[in-house]
């Protein structure tokens, strides 16, 4: 069982992976779950380009064999779809 990596991170440490991260603690064989709610206004704000680039780099660091889930929950203004599609491009997907 893994713990969500959340933004905004409440309480302290919630922005870091936790729970079971595989046999060696490196993520291999584990499910890593990101859930992002928008910033600065939770549920409403879109994320900026640099923030998305940083998250793409974070995701790309996980080794093969790590199942990564990423949910954008900044849906109130419709920002989630554009943010998710941009992240997909940054990760090399089309």
Number of domains in the chain: 1
CA distances, 14 to each of 9, 33, 47, 54, 62 (Å): 5, 11, 18, 17, 18
Give the CATH number of the domain where residue 19 resides: 3.20.20.410
What is the band of 2 on the pLDDT scale with cuts at 50, 70, 90? confident
pLDDT score, position 94: 52
In this predicted model, what pLDDT tens digit does every residue of 29-68 receive, in sequence order?
Answer: 999 999 999 999 999 999 999 999 999 999 999 999 999 9
pTM of the predicted structure, to 2 decimals = 0.88
Mean pLDDT computed over 4-17: 86
Domain holding 59, by residue range, is: 2-90
Mean pLDDT computed over 65-93: 95
Q: Please, what is the angle between helix 49-60 and helix 79-90, to 10°?
A: 50
């Amino acid at each position: 069982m893994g713990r969500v990596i959340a933004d905004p991170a409440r309480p302290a440490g919630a922005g870091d992976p936790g729970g079971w991260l595989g046999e060696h603690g490196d993520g291999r064989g584990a499910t890593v779950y990101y859930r992002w709610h928008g910033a600065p206004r939770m549920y409403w704000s879109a994320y900026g380009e640099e923030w998305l680039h940083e998250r793409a780099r974070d995701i790309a660091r996980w080794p093969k064999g790590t199942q990564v889930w990423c949910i954008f929950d900044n849906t109130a203004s419709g920002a989630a779809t554009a943010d998710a599609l941009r992240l997909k491009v940054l990760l090399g997907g089309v």
